[in-house]
Amino acid sequence: MIELPKLVLASGSPRRAEIMTSVGWEFEKDVPDIDESELPGETPEAYVQRLAREKASLIARRHSQKLVLGADTTVVIDGKIIGKPVDEEEARRMIELLSGNWHEVLTGVSVVSDGATSVGLQRTRVKFAQMSDAEIAFLVKKGDPLDKAGAYAVQAQAALFIEGIEGDYWNVVGLPISLVYRMIAEAHTQ
């Protein structure tokens, strides 16, 4: 039988906590405060991995003997990062961009264990149906878009408009739990 080691989740995301809880993983939360600005010329893949590493490293300094998990998720369309909207108008513009199109959800994952840091990346493609102005307005008003990358939550109102997902569904929710499990299992066998 496997044993899921207790860890510190370096995240304030309620969705990440829900995923960890749903698989029975014991954890405590410690929310990192880092600058999430993109660096000039940084690719979306490098961006999410850097932020995951910075979050995990910062929290690992406060919990030196504990296993620490950091993650960062972003939405990418046409090679550009679509972060969290600052207001409803920006959320509307983001959802208009996603309407009728495929986009990628990227999550960087970082595990700090016994002073060693590993970093991984999960990529999932998501297709939104073509949406009317009324449907976009509905998603902006009812979908609680302001704390979500890409202004939507796949497990909530946005599910009405998702035509396809290629890859890890849990990555789109906010944490590729299978990747996390594999990375932690590998860190514990070394």
Which of residues 25 and 65 earns the better pLDDT score?
Answer: 25
2 within domain boundaries: no
- What's the pLDDT score for residue 96? 95
Number of domains in the chain: 1
Q: How many residues does the chain have?
A: 190
- What's the pLDDT score for residue 136? 96
Q: Are 125 and 167 in contact (CB under 8 A)?
A: yes
Q: Strand (E) positions, the chain? A: 7-10, 27-29, 68-77, 80-82, 102-113, 116-128, 162-166
- pLDDT of 53-109, one tens digit each? 999 999 999 998 899 999 999 999 989 999 889 999 999 999 999 999 999 999 999
How many other C-beta atoms lie within 10 A of the C-beta of residue 104? Answer: 21
- What's the pLDDT score for residue 115? 85
Distance between CA atoms of residues 113 and 63, nearest Å: 11
CA distances for 141 relative to 60, 98, 158, angstroms: 38, 16, 12
- What's the pLDDT score for residue 83? 86
Distance between CA atoms of residues 115 and 66, nearest Å: 9
Asked whether residue 147 carries a pLDDT value surpassing 90, the answer given is no
Nearest C-alpha neighbor of 189 from the set 113, 106, 124: 113
Range of the domain at 30: 7-189
1 within domain boundaries: no
- CATH of residue 140's domain is 3.90.950.10
Average pLDDT score over residue span 12-36: 94
Q: What is the mean pLDDT of the chain?
A: 94
139 within domain boundaries: yes
70 within domain boundaries: yes
Which of residues 145 and 171 earns the better pLDDT score?
Answer: 171
- What's the pLDDT score for residue 23? 96
Asked whether residue 188 carries a pLDDT value surpassing 80, the answer given is no
Q: Which token pair is 117?
A: 């840091």
- Catalogue the active-site residues: 72
Asked whether residue 129 carries a pLDDT value surpassing 90, the answer given is yes
24-28, 142-146, 154-158, 184-188, range with greatest mean pLDDT: 24-28
168 within domain boundaries: yes
Q: Which token pair is 67?
A: 């296993």
Give this prediction's pTM.
0.93
Task: Return the percentage of the chain with pLDDT > 90, whole number.
Answer: 83
Asked whether residue 189 carries a pLDDT value surpassing 70, the answer given is no
Pairing relation of β-strands 68-77 and 80-82?
Answer: antiparallel
